Every structure is written in structure tokens, then in C-alpha cells.
Structure 1
Amino acid sequence: MRTARRPDATTADPGLIGLLGFVIATLTAQLAHLGVQNESAVFWVGAAFGGIVQVTAGMLSYFIGDDFHFIVYNAFGWYWICMPGFLLGGELGFFEVSGPAKPLFMMIFSILAFGFAVAGSMHNTVLPVTLICVGIGLGLESAGAFGGGEGFGVVGAWFLIAASALATYMLIEKFYWRTMGRHVIPLGRPWIAGSADIES
């Protein structure tokens, strides 16, 4: 465990709740995808933790001038507000989403995740790997929904569970660094030089 002087901060880091929201919502959704639980939990947990919490983290990032987390948390936060809406529409038959709309929506966010991974690679090693897992996972689930291949969706779910585990790893490091000034686990060096931010 390395001890270092944490940079003086006048505000809390919104990434703490952003990562927490991502972890809980993603894990809940993938457990439902694998048949461990039903989709009712996905509606409530996805909308609250995945949606409201991540959008809040994204908007708070705006006020500290953090463009990367502003767009990443907002993008996936609104994704998690839309996805439970798709579920609700299907249950109520109100603005029901059918056909290729849902898998196309997932594919768009798969592509976004790969794009975010490029910028994330200026922060550390774990962040871009996490985003790559998100991109692969969403892409496979989208492909499974388009082609009816259940196997694609299952493999995609496991990639997203891996992304949730990696986000938990980053959350542990960020939490102890921000609250105790201690680096407890390594995040790895950035893949692309240019950022002094060693955090996620």
C-alpha cells in the first residue's frame, strides 16, 4: 500500500457515485439477462442507480470541468433511463419498443464505449479495458438480439459482468485515494501519454 499526499480538493469526486451506479446497474441487468433474477429489478435499479445516479455524477463533473466524465456518465446514465423505459413500455403496451430499435440502441452505445476507451486510455490501464468490455458486451448482446443467437447474449453478459468487476476495482482505488490519501491497488499506466490524472 502506497501513501501519498492527495491533491487538495474543494469538492467531492462525482466519479465515486458514478462508478457505484454503473456497477450496481450493470450487474443487476446482466444477472437478469442470465436468468438469475427477473427483469423487475432491472427497471428499478437501472433507473435509479444506472440512470439517476450516473446522470447526477455526469452533471457534477461539469462543474469541476471534467469533460471526459461529464459525457461518459451522462451518456450511460441516460442509457439506463431509456432501457427501463423500454421494459415499462413492453409491460404496459404504452410506447412499446419493438423490432430492431432496442438492439440498434445497444449497438450505438457499444460503439460509443469503444470511442470513450480511446480517451480513457490517457488515464490508466483499467479504465480503457473496462470500456472495451462494455463495448464488446453490448455489441454481442445487440448481435444476439438482431440474429436471435442466445449464445451471443450470454457471452456479452459475461463481458459486462467483467466490466462491472473492473469498475468495482477502480471504485476501491478511487475511494481510498480520495478519503485516505492511499493508493491501495494499481490501476496501471496510461496507454497514451498526455494526462496527469492517474484516477479513473
Structure 2
Amino acid sequence: MQNSKLGNPAVVGLGGFGLTTLLLQFHNLGWVGLGPILAMGIIFGGTAQLVAGFLEHKMGNNFGFAAFTAYGSFWIGLGIIWILNHLQVYPSSHSDVGFFLVAWTLITVIFWVGSFFIHTAMFVTFASLLAGFVLLDLAHFGFETLNTAAAIVLIVCALAAWYMMAAIILNDLAGREVLKVGKPLIANK
């Protein structure tokens, strides 16, 4: 049987996560409507991340499997909330969405802690995601002015995800480390 190199599914997952996160922050800053975010949230941020997560499972990467399937589901779920609101079917209030975000903040804490064992770029991505979720939580429960701060922090998060995607692609193509991702904050065993 021939051993052939497999592609790294994280490039698609990170690409989808970064793109949809970036687009949503453009919306939160008032620069773009929901249409492009809904489309990319369902297709690239949602479906493509789910596929990437399932492929990470096949590669034996529990962190990638859990993270990509979770955040792929987040994007599809958020898209469904927007569609149901638009159609006036099971509409969600501002605080309903706030509780949705609080739940995602809590699961993000688990991934953030897990990122300590991976590398610095992963830690930066999850630290900024966690900070962005906390700011969004507060914004949904009475501190609306924090939406702008959340958008800025989450733009950093999106760019950090793309940095990891670029590191995987470019380091593989160059056959050496062109873009550094750093060491784990906590060494494995």
C-alpha cells in the first residue's frame, strides 16, 4: 500500500473560521449587512468547518475535531437564529442571543485552556476569541458600547486564525518554518 501525504484539514477550518469572524465584525462595526455573513456563515464558517472537524477526527486530532465541529455548528446555529428572526418564526430577543453567546463563552474557556498545550498562535487565537465573547456577552446585557471593542478584538482573532492557516500552508510549501507559531505555554509531558 502506498503512503501518500494527506492535506491538513485545519487550513480549511481556520480559513472558514477567520473569514466568517472577520465578516461578522465588519457587520458589528456597521460596514456591511447580514447577507454576506449569513451566506459565508452557513457555507464556509459552518459547513466547511464541520467537514474540517470530521477530517481532524480521522487524523486523530481531538482538539481540531472538537473545535472545528463546535464552531462550525456555532455559525450554522447563528445563521438559523438570523433566518428565524427574519421570518418571525421563533424570534430571539437581544438577551436570548446574549444567553446563546454566554454558552459559547463557556465552551470557549475549555478550548482556551486546551490552547495552552498547543502553541502560542493557537493561544492568541483562543484568548482573543474568549475576550471577544466576554465583551459580546456584556454588550448583550446592557453595555452596548462594548460592541465596538468586541469587534476589534475579534478582528484580531480572525487574523490570528488566518496566520495559523498561512503558517500551515507556507511552511508545508517551503519545507521549512517560514512562519513561526511559537511554543506551547504549558509543555506536554
TM-score, normalised to structure 2, is: 0.93
Per the alignment, residue 129 of structure 2 pairs with: 134
> Alpha-carbon deviations, 1:23-48, whole Å to 9, x = none?
11000111001001111111111111
Q: Are the aligned partners of 2:138 and 2:144 in contact in 1 as well (CA < 8 Å)?
A: no
> Alpha-carbon deviations, 1:101-134, whole Å to 9, x = none?
2111111212222221211121111101110100
The DSSP-based 3-state class of the residue aligned with 2:102 is helix
Per the alignment, residue 110 of structure 1 pairs with: 105
Is structure 2 residue 188 aligned with structure 1 residue 194? yes
Q: Are the aligned partners of 1:125 and 1:188 in contact in 2 as well (CA < 8 Å)?
A: yes
Per the alignment, residue 55 of structure 1 pairs with: 50
Q: Which one of the candidate residues 9, 18, 23 is aligned to 1:14?
A: 9
Percent of counterpart pairs with the same letter? 27
Q: How many Å apart are 1:9 and its aligned residue?
A: 6.2
Q: Which one of the candidate residues 173, 178, 191 is aligned to 2:172?
A: 178
Per the alignment, residue 88 of structure 2 pairs with: 93
Per the alignment, residue 4 of structure 1 pairs with: none
Q: Are the aligned partners of 1:134 and 1:159 in contact in 2 as well (CA < 8 Å)?
A: yes
Q: How does 1:134-173 map to 2 (within 5 A)?
A: 134-147=129-142, 149-173=143-167
Q: How many Å apart are 1:180 and its aligned residue?
A: 3.3
Is structure 2 residue 20 aligned with structure 1 residue 25? yes
Q: Are the aligned partners of 2:170 and 2:179 in contact in 1 as well (CA < 8 Å)?
A: no
Distance 1:61 1:168 in 2: 18
Q: Are the aligned partners of 2:98 and 2:137 in contact in 1 as well (CA < 8 Å)?
A: yes
Moved over 6 A (4+): none
Q: Are the aligned partners of 1:112 and 1:135 in contact in 2 as well (CA < 8 Å)?
A: no
Deviates most, 61-70 or 99-108:
99-108
Per the alignment, residue 70 of structure 1 pairs with: 65
Q: Are the aligned partners of 2:21 and 2:154 in contact in 1 as well (CA < 8 Å)?
A: yes
Per the alignment, residue 31 of structure 2 pairs with: 36
Structural RMSD (CA): 1.5
Q: Are the aligned partners of 2:94 and 2:140 in contact in 1 as well (CA < 8 Å)?
A: no
The DSSP-based 3-state class of the residue aligned with 1:93 is coil
Unpaired runs of at least 5, structure 2? none
The DSSP-based 3-state class of the residue aligned with 1:182 is coil
